Structure 1
Amino acid sequence: MLPPNAISLDARLSAIRDLAGSCARFADIGADHGRLGAHMLLRGLCRRAQLADISEASLAKARRLIYGLGLTDRVDFCVGDGALALVEKPDVAVIAGMGGQTIAGIVERGRDVLSGARLILQPNVAAPELRARLQAAGFCIEDEAIARDGRRLYVILVAKAGEMRLSPREIEVGPVLLRKRPENLPLYAAFRVRVAGKALEGARRGHGDAAALEREIAIWEAILHDDGQGHTGASGGHRPAGDAGGVG
């Protein structure tokens, strides 16, 4: 029998695993190499796993891994369009490593399949757009985190079917991140200010919505300059904006 730690995860996938918790039926949509599903099975965090990908070539990597681990009797391989490819409704579904708009589309098209699941969503870009579309599609955000893997920062959302009403600030930053104020939020805020600032330079030359970018920068600068409400005041240990990149 293989040890539970036979498949290790990087910091990003470890954070996703921690938010996923344990369940009977796990699904990884956009599974690619299949490491997360294999890890969940070996750790006893799920009884069965569905590994889905729109690309058979990508899913072939997961097939080889699962076969080599002797876990094929506990895994369904699903090729097709997101959640619509799944063979049964999952208890927990991970959709990670894609753009926020792509993730939102998968959730919207697969709403009937995912309506009873806990969703762990990790957008590489467009986290605010994902939050807005989750709200419109009838999903609410239960938890959020920022994972750091080397120089990269990753926003992770936990959502389920339900209603929520988010303010523009909550859509931009995240309702739970605003409430919890994780210690790496200022670092992520500095990254967002830097990215939006570069985009604003182009917008002022006629290549974008300058007013929207100015509002975005103001929201994130308020996070950086919060003097107590967010526990990030003058002695809050902000790191230079160049210390890390980010996604989301």
Structure 2
Amino acid sequence: MPELALQILLLLFLAGLLAGFIDAIAGGGGMVTIPAMLLAGIPPLQVLGTNKLQSLFGSASASWAYARHGHVDLREQLPMALTAALGAVLGALLATVVPAGVLKAALPFLLIAIAVYFGLKPGIGDVERHRRMSAFAFGATVVPLIGFYDGVFGPGTGSFLMLGFVSLAGYGILKATAHTKFLNFGSNVGAFAVFLAFGAVLWKVGLVMGLGQFVGAQLGSRFAMKQGAKVIKPLLVTVSVLLALRLLADPAHPLRLWLGF
């Protein structure tokens, strides 16, 4: 594709900055970055590959920030991050086999269900609750499945991880946010490796947006650590609903095609 003008790269940097801020708190950064790259005229396959490159910077930056303040032990969480990466590799490799139309059709309703769960369920805050799954079982089942989804499709991965950590692992919402970022980094690495092998990465765009993601994630993670559940919970609900609406607004969404509107 032709070289992008400097002002377009600047706008993509700002999109990465905003996405990094949002993603470090509640996930959903792809809601900003993917449309921004499509509007810049980047082909869809390169958008997906480049999105994984720039997302690496945001998820790594947020993980580092949360770890520095003691909200997550990266060494302890490394096995889960590796299973997320493995799941994402398999998902990206098998993307042509998986019925992506079904995923796209169901995703808005899953995101709305997550928003309802976090919005209406009482007692979700910074205090940890009863664990329903062991760390081993969670890392061996839930994490690679969500990583697989991230490799196949992607939007909403952070929301699904948050839901798992809160409802199954019993984490408080700030701890869940901190742990989600490193697993998201793992799934980004796995999917990025596949897209890189297929030559679907635009390095200049990815690095420019990645710089924005890094800065935005530092700002977002610090804001989340300062404000805690009182900002994470409403932003997670808002991002989930907005992402669902954006997906439904796409004229190519399978549900709209099936219903003919």
What TM-score, normalized by structure 2, do the two folds share? 0.26
Q: Which has the higher contact order (CA 8 A, sep 6+)?
A: 2
Judging by fraction of residues, say which structure has more helix.
2
Judging by fraction of residues, say which structure has more strand.
1
What TM-score, normalized by structure 1, do the two folds share? 0.27
Max Rg structure: 1
